[in-house]
Amino acid sequence: MGTGRDDPVQVRSQYHADLDRVWGSLVDLAELARTAMVRATAALADADLALAERVIGGDALLDARRRDLEELVFGLLATQQPVAGDLRLLTAALPAGAGLERMGDLAAHIARAARLRYPDNAVPVELRDTIAQMGRVAAELAGDLATAIGTRDAELAAGVPAGDDAMDTLHRQMFTILLAPSRDQRIETAIDISLLGRYHERFADQAVSVARRICFILTGRQPAPDRDT
């Protein structure tokens, strides 16, 4: 007893190790999304083509990690009978993982905007501060998520929507500057900035959505609906 492959104690301990892998996988995804946003923000600020390429190329890793997470969760649902908190983890890990992967996509879109205008800077001088701040807020949200998931801290996760409010304020400020009559009225710039603003806004929205899933896993309370921007 206690040594066989089908020993119930070992089977349970493998199950718990697998649940930890689900948590670990979510932390990894959040960290990857954070790093992608930090780098995309720098690539945009400095018109740094090599860094932009790194973010764009790195997105495949997030996609692969999300697929690994789905397979792991699917396998656990198929072979175990998870209940209560474990079941919440397994069911909410799927949309949380999808949200984190999407955050990586959006960081890659920002990097693509930097690449598209290289060697020019995609962002006109008067908007650089605002866009850089949006990037910093986005990266911080992803960092908070990674920490909240890693330490299973529902309170920290519950604080993520406040960061999204900061993003909305910056987003409005961005449009005010973009529409100021004094500035250069190039259509390409208006298109680039509208879309860049959208990518940052959606990154933050996804962070809020993931944070709500994490709160649900940890507390069992259904998250309030997303704001759907």
Q: Pick one of 105, 129, 153, 168: the residue that binds its own copies (CB under 8 A).
A: 105
Q: Pick one of 78, 119, 176, 182: the residue that binds its own copies (CB under 8 A).
A: 78
CA angle, 72 then 60 then 38, to 5°: 105
Q: Least CB distance from residue 32 to its own copies, whole Å? A: 14
Q: Pick one of 77, 154, 158, 166: the residue that binds its own copies (CB under 8 A).
A: 77
Residue type for position 192: D
Piece in contact with its own copies (CB under 8 A), picked from 17-25, 33-41, 88-96, 131-139: 88-96
Indicate the residue among 43 and 199 with the shorter CB distance to its own copies.
199
Token pair 């929205």 is found at 205
With CB under 8 A, what is the number of residues at the site for its own copies? Answer: 32
CB distance 175 to 196 below 8 Å:
no
Q: ω before 124 within 30° of 0 (cis)?
A: no
Identify the helix (H) or strand (E) that includes residue 221. none
Name which of residues 150 to 189 contact its own copies (CB under 8 A).
175, 178-179, 185, 187-188
Q: Pick one of 91, 121, 173, 219: the residue that binds its own copies (CB under 8 A).
A: 91
Query: Cα separation of 192 and 200, whole Å?
Result: 12
Indicate the residue among 40 and 178 with the shorter CB distance to its own copies.
178
Piece in contact with its own copies (CB under 8 A), picked from 38-46, 76-84, 126-134, 159-167: 76-84
Burial of 170 (0-12, 13-18, 19+ CB in 10 A): buried
Q: Pick one of 31, 48, 59, 144: the residue that binds its own copies (CB under 8 A).
A: 59
First to last CA, the chain: 56
Task: Tell me which long-range contacts 78-87 makes (C-beta under 8 A, separation of at least 24).
Answer: 80/15, 84/220, 85/217, 85/220, 86/19
Q: Dihedral, CA atoms, 135, 63, 72, 150, nearest 10 degrees?
A: -20
Q: Does 222 bind its own copies (CB under 8 A)?
A: yes
What residues line the site for its own copies (CB under 8 A)?
A: 59, 63, 67, 73-74, 77-78, 81-83, 87, 90-91, 94-95, 98, 105, 108, 175, 178-179, 185, 187-188, 190-191, 194-195, 198, 222, 225, 228
